[in-house]
Amino acid sequence: MSLPILWFAIVAVFWTGFFVLEGFDFGVGALHRVVGRTDLERRVAINAIGPTWDGNEVWLIVAGAAMFAAFPGWYATWFSALYLALVLVLVGLIVRGVSFEFRGKSDAPRWRTKWSLTLTIGSVTTPLLIGVGLGDLLVGLPVDSSQEFTGSFWSLLTPFGLVFGVTLLGLCLLHGSTFLALRAGDPVRTNATRLARSLRWPVLVLVVVAAGWTFALSGRSVLSVVLLVVAVLGVLGAAVFVGRGGEGRAFAGTAAAIGATVASIFAGLYPNVLVSSTAAANNLTIASTASQQYALTVMTVVAGVLFPVVLLYQGWTYVVFRRRVLVPAESAPSVG
With 80 as the cut, is the pLDDT of residue 192 above it?
yes
The answer to whether the beta carbons of residues 332 and 186 sit under 8 Å apart is: yes
What mean pLDDT do residues 29-58 have? 93
> Could you tell me if residue 301 is inside a domain?
no
Q: Provide mean pLDDT across the span 314-324.
A: 89
Q: Is the pTM of this model over 0.75?
A: yes
Domain boundaries, position 49: 17-198+271-291
Residue 27 lies in a domain: yes
User: What is the C-alpha to C-alpha distance for residues 122 and 92, in angstroms, rounded to an integer?
Assistant: 4
Q: Is 4 strand, coil or helix?
A: helix
Q: What is the mean pLDDT of residues 240-246?
A: 88
Region 140-161 average pLDDT: 94
Q: State the pLDDT at residue 110.
A: 92
Asked if 93 contacts 57 with a C-beta cutoff of 8 angstroms, the reply is yes
Residue 117 in this model has a pLDDT that exceeds 50: yes
In a domain, 63, yes or no: yes
In this predicted structure, the answer to whether residue 333 has a pLDDT above a threshold of 50 is no
Residue 225 lies in a domain: no
**Predicted confidence (pLDDT) per residue in 64-85, tens digit:** 999 999 999 999 999 999 999 9
Return the pLDDT at 329. 57
Assigned domain for 323 exists: no
Reported as a pLDDT band with limits 50, 70 and 90, residue 330 is: very low
> CA-to-CA distance for 289 and 287, rounded, in angstroms?
6
Where are the alpha helices (H) located in the chain, listed in sequence order? 3-35, 39-49, 53-70, 72-81, 83-102, 109-139, 159-183, 188-217, 222-241, 247-269, 286-289, 293-320
Tell me what the mean pLDDT of segment 86-98 comes to.
94
DSSP lists the bridge partners of residue 184 as 325
Contacts of 237 (CB under 8 A, 6+ apart): 249, 250, 252, 253, 256
**pLDDT range class, residue 151, cuts 50, 70, 90:** very high
pLDDT digits (tens, 9 = 90+) for 259-294: 999 999 999 999 999 999 999 999 999 999 999 999
| Residue 79 in domain | yes
Q: What is the mean pLDDT of residues 51-64?
A: 92
- Would 45 be classed as within a structural domain? yes
Please count the structural domains in the chain.
1
DSSP 273: E
Dist CA 174 CA 188 (whole Å): 15
Is the pLDDT score of 332 beyond 50? Answer: no
Tens digit of pLDDT for each residue in 3-14?
A: 999 999 999 999
What local confidence, expressed as pLDDT, does residue 335 receive?
Answer: 37
158 located within any domain:
yes
| Phi then psi dihedrals of residue 273, to 5 deg | -120, -20
Pick left, alpha or beta for residue 325 (phi over 0 → left; psi -120 to 50 → alpha; otherwise beta).
Answer: beta
Banded model confidence at residue 322, pLDDT cuts 50, 70, 90: confident
Report the distance separating Cα 68 and Cα 72, nearest Å. Answer: 5
Report how far apart, in Å, the C-alpha atoms of 97 and of each of 53, 72, 89, 142 are: 9, 28, 12, 34
